[in-house]
Chain A
């Protein structure tokens, strides 16, 4: 069974600075997907970024980028130029595509607070 570990329960960062959230996972699969989701106080789950395991290039979405190390099974999220609106709980998630569905396995989450 796949597991996802987020070792940082809470983090703080000053506005405009950069922060990195860590995530490691355990799987014997070779083909899979990794995601970072953001859950602000509204509790809406928002997709931040997606990485396909077969792609070596790290995914980037504006201020958000990942450092995907497949051999080390590591998938960290870097947030540049942090904004107050980035305050949220961040979940790392693993997906092994299955015929007829895409089950996500979530990490425990990291609460990120951006301070002004």
Chain B
């Protein structure tokens, strides 16, 4: 079945540095990928829609300059948390689907801790 790989699974960084998270669709092409953020015991909050070959679409309240998204190929989207601060510490999950209407497949998530 469709698989989405997300890397790294855990990352600890110092405040002020940038962190890149990769999301890959391993056996299908995804023109669109989605990035979610999740706090403990809460739901997934959509941050942005990553569009291959064009700019990402950000949800209201999400800082574009803070969370840079690049979708350079049909199988890879990256999320870069720039100038990270402790309040950026969270669980980030990417997802993609193979075709319209098909279920989203999720990466295993990245636990980001900013010290």
Asked if A84 is at the interface of the complex by the 8 Å CB criterion, the answer is no
Asked if A106 is at the interface of the complex by the 8 Å CB criterion, the answer is yes
A33 neighbours in B (Cβ, 8 Å): 101, 103
13 contacts between A and B (CB under 8 A): A33-B101, A43-B93, A43-B109, A50-B103, A97-B100, A97-B101, A100-B51, A101-B51, A102-B32, A102-B100, A103-B34, A103-B49, A109-B43
Measured CB to CB, the residues of B under 8 A from A are: 31-32, 34, 38, 41-44, 46, 49, 51, 91, 93, 95, 97, 100-106, 108-109
Q: Are B106 and A44 in contact (CB under 8 A)?
A: yes
B102 neighbours in A (Cβ, 8 Å): 102
Output the nearest chain A residue to B91 by Cβ-Cβ distance.
A43
Interface centre among A44, A91, A102, A108 (most CB of B within 10 A): A102
Q: Are B109 and A107 in contact (CB under 8 A)?
A: no
Alpha-carbon distance A104/B106, docked complex (angstroms): 12
Interface centre among A52, A91, A104 (most CB of B within 10 A): A104
Asked if A89 is at the interface of the complex by the 8 Å CB criterion, the answer is yes
Q: In the complex, what's the smallest C-beta–C-beta distance from A92 to chain B, in angstroms? A: 10
A45 neighbours in B (Cβ, 8 Å): 44, 93, 95, 106
Alpha-carbon distance A100/B46, docked complex (angstroms): 17
A19 neighbours in B (Cβ, 8 Å): none
B46 neighbours in A (Cβ, 8 Å): 103-105
**A63-92, CB < 8 A from B:** 89, 91
Q: In the complex, what's the smallest C-beta–C-beta distance from B44 to chain A, in angstroms? A: 5
Output the nearest chain B residue to A50 by Cβ-Cβ distance.
B103
Q: Are A100 and B42 in contact (CB under 8 A)?
A: no
Q: Are A108 and B43 in contact (CB under 8 A)?
A: yes
Interface centre among A42, A45, A97 (most CB of B within 10 A): A45
Q: Are B103 and A100 in contact (CB under 8 A)?
A: no
Q: Are A95 and B42 in contact (CB under 8 A)?
A: no
Q: Are B108 and A100 in contact (CB under 8 A)?
A: no
Alpha-carbon distance A35/B104, docked complex (angstroms): 10
A16 neighbours in B (Cβ, 8 Å): none
A97 neighbours in B (Cβ, 8 Å): 100-101
